Amino acid sequence: MKLLFAIIFATKLAHAAAADLPITQQELVRRTQELYDAIVPGNRTPWKKYFADDCIFSNEKGHTMDKAKLVADITPMPPGYSGSIKIDNVQSRILGDTAVLSYDANETETIFGQNLTARYHVTDTWLRRNDEWKIIASQAHRYYEDPAVGKADPKKFGDFIGTYELAPGQIRSITVENENLFIERKGKNEQLLPETSDLFFRKSIEGRILFRYDANGKVDSLADRRNNEDVIWRKIK
């Protein structure tokens, strides 16, 4: 009987000592990678294990889910699809019963032999309750990537050249140099790269520049499209 009490007492001491130990960045990374490795086969077990029942999960598409919806969203990739997500550029802040893990998630995906890549940044907040560390909140966003450069039609550039006005004193100019299209405002000159023959973008700047034609087939304005909303600049000369 004394031996049994001694074993029970030693076990309690071991659990108490383990509970006092703070979680490490290395362990948080290990658990996080386990979550991502479970996505392709649709293994829900680690997602049930490491997310708190009252968690808030917001993905890169702007969808916010509770644990039930999050776990239900973990399903095997369909035939012909494969991929992986690996984390790097990790930073952490561990204070008492709270740990914040911030990292990049680099995704590779193969769809019937075609390879795709994407980069995300994720911040997870882990909380210790009842000696268990679980994610209470997770927020992800996708890094902006320029679209693929398409083929321009230099014959159209003459239609685009000119001065465009947003409001009095707010002017943009479109010029052509060596069969390349440029947009200038307040001395800042940027190349417009074609996505299609009438749709352009600036390197590393989210949004599009597109030219609009009037009923007579002449360009009368350009639209600075941001998040699917247009700021219209009228062509004045």
11 membership: H or E segment, kind and range: helix 2-20
Tell me the CA distances in angstroms from 149 to 159, 192, 197, 206, one per residue in order.
21, 10, 11, 14
179 in any annotated domain: yes
Name the residue range of residue 226's domain: 154-235
Mean model confidence pLDDT for the chain: 90
Question: Residue 174: pLDDT above 50?
Answer: yes
57 and 170 share a domain? no
177 and 200 share a domain? yes
Query: CA-CA distance, 234 to 220, in Å (whole number)?
Result: 6
The pLDDT of 96-122, averaged and rounded, is 96
137 and 165 share a domain? no
pLDDT class of 50 with cuts at 50, 70, 90 = very high
Say if residues 225 and 208 touch (Cβ distance below 8 Å): yes
10 in any annotated domain: no
Q: In this structure, what CATH number is given to the domain that contains residue 52?
A: 3.10.450.50
Exposure pattern of 187-222 as b/e (b: 16+ CB <10 Å)? eeeeebbbbeebbbbbeeeebbbbbbeeeeeebbbb
pLDDT at 47: 98
Domains in the chain, number: 2
Query: CA-CA distance, 135 to 59, in Å (whole number)?
Result: 14
213 and 173 share a domain? yes
pTM: 0.75
The pLDDT of 136-145, averaged and rounded, is 94
Per DSSP, helices labelled H in 124-181 are: 157-160
103 membership: H or E segment, kind and range: strand 98-111
136 and 213 share a domain? no
126 in any annotated domain: yes
**3-class secondary-structure state, position 93:** strand
Nearest-CA neighbor of 205 among 117, 144, 141, 142? 144
The pLDDT of 179-203, averaged and rounded, is 92
- Among candidate residues 121, 142, 163, the one where a domain is terminated: 142
- Among candidate residues 90, 122, 142, the one where a domain is terminated: 142
160 in any annotated domain: yes
- Among candidate residues 98, 119, 142, the one where a domain is terminated: 142
115 in any annotated domain: yes
12 in any annotated domain: no
For the record, the structure tokens of 75 come out as 């399903």
Say if residues 163 and 139 touch (Cβ distance below 8 Å): no
Q: In this structure, what CATH number is given to the domain that contains residue 222?
A: 2.40.128.50
